[in-house]
């Protein structure tokens, strides 16, 4: 079946602009995660959705970052007033939920470059 | 989540077994051991996970010590396509909160030598 998809694959924007990054999870997965990865580092957690609600947003670095998942499927990560330090690969993952422990399936990522 | 310690890099000859160690000496009773890998320019790929018992699937085997303070990921017959960064992660899973975030370290860069 289809995996996690992310659009766009690459985004170049100017400092100060607003960007939106989209994630389409695997159908039926109620849990959705956003991470970001800087060069040479492991992915860093940003936010976790269970259905439509953000269950854990402790990784969002500041109030310029916001994410939504209005219908419990597609999610959008929004970054306002972008800064050069926001340049990174933004990864989305989804998983099943419920009792037990389930693996996360990752998308290919969106490479964001802020000039 | 508990922290993990992995060697920064390893080499393995093609066709041999690759054994990747991970130390997680502060692991709690409700934390699973997960392994992911990341091939260059791709998203992380799930490999295997376990709680107490050894696990095996079509990709790898996971050996967890009896005290759960360390584990080893085994790729039985390494190929060039196994060259990647391998991450060992310990992760809480509770029935109430479901499956929470993964906390990645810097992993082990495994290079398969032809």
Q: Residue B89 pLDDT more than 70?
A: yes
Q: Residue A103 pLDDT more than 90?
A: no
Residue A41 has a pLDDT of: 92
Whether B97 has its CB under 8 Å from any CB of chain A: the answer is yes
- For residues B43-56, b (16+ Cβ closer than 10 Å) or e, as one string? bbebbbbbeeeebe
Distance in Å, alpha carbon of B105 to nearest chain A alpha carbon: 6
Asked if B51's CB is within 8 angstroms of A55's CB, the reply is no
Residue B111 has a pLDDT of: 98
Q: What phi and psi values does residue B56 have, to the nearest 5 degrees?
A: -140, 140
- Interval A47-69: pLDDT, tens: 999 999 998 999 999 999 999 99
Residue A2 has a pLDDT of: 84
User: Minimal Cα distance from B32: which residue of A?
Assistant: A101
A55 interaction partners in chain B (CB closer than 8 Å): 97-98, 100
Whole-angstrom Cα distance, residue A16 to residue A11? 14
Asked if B99's CB is within 8 angstroms of A95's CB, the reply is yes
Partners of A95 in the β-ladder: A31
Residue A97 has a pLDDT of: 79
Residue B101 has a pLDDT of: 84
B-facing residues of A in 14-73 (CB < 8 A) are: 31, 33, 35, 40-45, 48, 50, 55-56, 59
> Shortest CA distance to B56 belongs to which of B37, B38, B72, B80?
B72
- Average pLDDT estimate for A105-113: 97
Residue B2 has a pLDDT of: 59
Q: What phi and psi values does residue B108 have, to the nearest 5 degrees?
A: -115, 125
Average pLDDT, chain B: 91
- Average pLDDT estimate for B74-103: 84
**pLDDT band at residue A99, thresholds of 50, 70 and 90?**
low
Q: Residue B99 pLDDT more than 80?
A: no
User: Minimal Cα distance from B43: which residue of A?
Assistant: A108
Q: What's the CA angle centered on B54, arms B49 and B59, to 5 degrees?
A: 55
- Interval A67-90: pLDDT, tens: 999 999 999 999 999 999 999 999
Q: Residue B98 pLDDT more than 60?
A: no
């Amino acid at each position: 079946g289809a995996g996690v998809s992310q659009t766009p694959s690459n985004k170049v924007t100017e400092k100060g602009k607003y960007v939106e990054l989209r994630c389409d999870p695997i159908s039926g997965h109620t849990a959705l995660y956003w991470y970001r990865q800087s060069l040479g580092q492991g992915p860093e957690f940003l936010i976790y959705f269970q259905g439509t609600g953000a269950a854990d947003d402790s990784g969002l670095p500041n109030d310029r970052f916001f994410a939504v998942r209005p219908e419990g499927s597609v999610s959008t990560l929004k970054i306002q007033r972008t800064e050069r330090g926001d340049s990174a690969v933004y990864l989305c993952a989804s998983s099943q939920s419920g009792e037990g422990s389930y693996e996360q399936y990752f998308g290919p990522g969106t490479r964001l470059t802020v000039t | 989540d508990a922290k993990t310690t992995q060697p920064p890099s390893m080499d393995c000859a093609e066709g041999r077994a690759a054994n990747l160690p991970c130390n997680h000496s502060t692991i709690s009773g409700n934390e699973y051991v997960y392994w992911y890998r990341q091939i260059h320019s791709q998203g992380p790929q799930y490999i295997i996970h376990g709680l107490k018992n050894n696990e095996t699937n079509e990709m790898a085997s996971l050996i967890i010590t009896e005290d759960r303070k360390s584990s080893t990921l085994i790729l039985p017959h390494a190929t060039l396509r196994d060259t990647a960064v391998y991450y060992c992660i310990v992760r809480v899973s509770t029935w109430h909160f479901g499956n929470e975030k993964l906390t990645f370290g810097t992993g082990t860069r495994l290079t398969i030598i032809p």
